[in-house]
Structure 1
Amino acid sequence: MKLAQITDKNIYDVMALKLKNNQETFVRDPQFSLAESYYYRDDDTVLLFALEEQGKVVGFLSLITEIEEKTVYIWRIVIGDQFQSKGYGRKALRSIEDYVRSLEGYEKIVSDYVMNNVAMKHLLESEGYIETGKQEEWNEIIMAKRLER
């Protein structure tokens, strides 16, 4: 899985990604995320990627880097509805880990999921993420993984 920069060549494919109906309570769609990220356009700690598999956009990813905390946060991760249940979520997490390892000074990845999102919970746990807390305000569980170098 490739974490590709969003460009004029793939932005329309990213914007065409859809969520399954029952997932709208778990994550914002890529269209909203792209619009929201405009607010952070001058902030080099927010990173946006198209998730590509064999040259095809299958998902969207936004990360936040916090060098003082030595942490990269998975802000949003979306696999398009037609690409789900094919292992792309797992491939995306592993590609994120490879990417973070390539950065200087980062030791941990943090993600979260809405409490009822059982699929995301199982995916994170199966990839070695450990529950580290809750965000009651957002009804979210926080998970983290310390990276081996």
Structure 2
Amino acid sequence: MTISLRPIDIHNYEAVCDLDVADTQQNYVACNMWSLVEAQFNQGYTTRAIYRNEEVVGFFMWVAQTGHSVSIWRFMIDLKFQQQGIGREALSLALEQIKSLTDVKQIEICYMPSNPVAKAFYSSFGFQEVGMDDEGEDMLAVIELSQ
């Protein structure tokens, strides 16, 4: 099984829009179609389809917040492909791509504090909780990069 991140284009955007999560996860994940629209009309948004071999199985979007900070706004694996290690490998690939950007010193991600699975998953990659986000709704966790 080969996991890769690929740009979203005319050939794969429909497959990305068709991805879904379990009903119990709906409150934790934004709509992929909406995210693609957001990325189309805003500067600094990067979207990637997550592939297992040649099949679209997930979605990523990260946003350049400042010259030194990137925030992962969207990350999901389709219901049919969860619990197979795809998310772990995809996040590793995304972090590599983000870390390769010039002058990035911090990577951040938010998740609902009521989601202990997300907390454990992200902390295993080195994300450390720093408190609630500006809206006071989501937990903010960061990776500080030394350069």
TM-score by length of 2: 0.89
The change in CA–CA distance for 1:27 and 1:138 in structure 2 (over 3 A counts) is farther
Of Structure 1 and Structure 2, the greater helix share is in 1
Query: Does residue 132 of the first structure (1) align with residue 134 of the second (2)?
Result: no
Q: Note the C-alpha offset of 1:136.
A: 7.0
Partner in structure 1 of residue 53 of structure 2: 54
Q: Note the C-alpha offset of 1:47.
A: 0.8
Structure 1: gaps (5+ residues): none
Q: Note the C-alpha offset of 1:35.
A: 3.0
Write out aligned runs for 1:96-115 (5 A).
96-115=94-113
Partner in structure 2 of residue 66 of structure 1: 65
The change in CA–CA distance for 1:137 and 1:148 in structure 2 (over 3 A counts) is closer
The change in CA–CA distance for 1:148 and 1:85 in structure 2 (over 3 A counts) is farther
> 1:28-79 deviations in whole A, cap 9, x for unaligned?
1212222333432xx1x111111112122111111101343x1110011111
Partner in structure 2 of residue 15 of structure 1: 17
The change in CA–CA distance for 1:19 and 1:138 in structure 2 (over 3 A counts) is farther
The change in CA–CA distance for 1:138 and 1:28 in structure 2 (over 3 A counts) is farther
Which of 26, 32, 35 pairs up with 2:28?
Answer: 26
Partner in structure 2 of residue 142 of structure 1: 140
Q: 4+ runs of 1 displaced by more than 4 Å?
A: none
Structure 1: distance between partners of 2:91 and 2:137: 22
Structure 2: distance between partners of 1:148 and 1:84: 32
SS in 1 for 2:135: helix
Structure 2: gaps (5+ residues): none
Q: Percent identity?
A: 27
Q: Note the C-alpha offset of 1:23.
A: 0.9
Structure 2: distance between partners of 1:38 and 1:65: 14
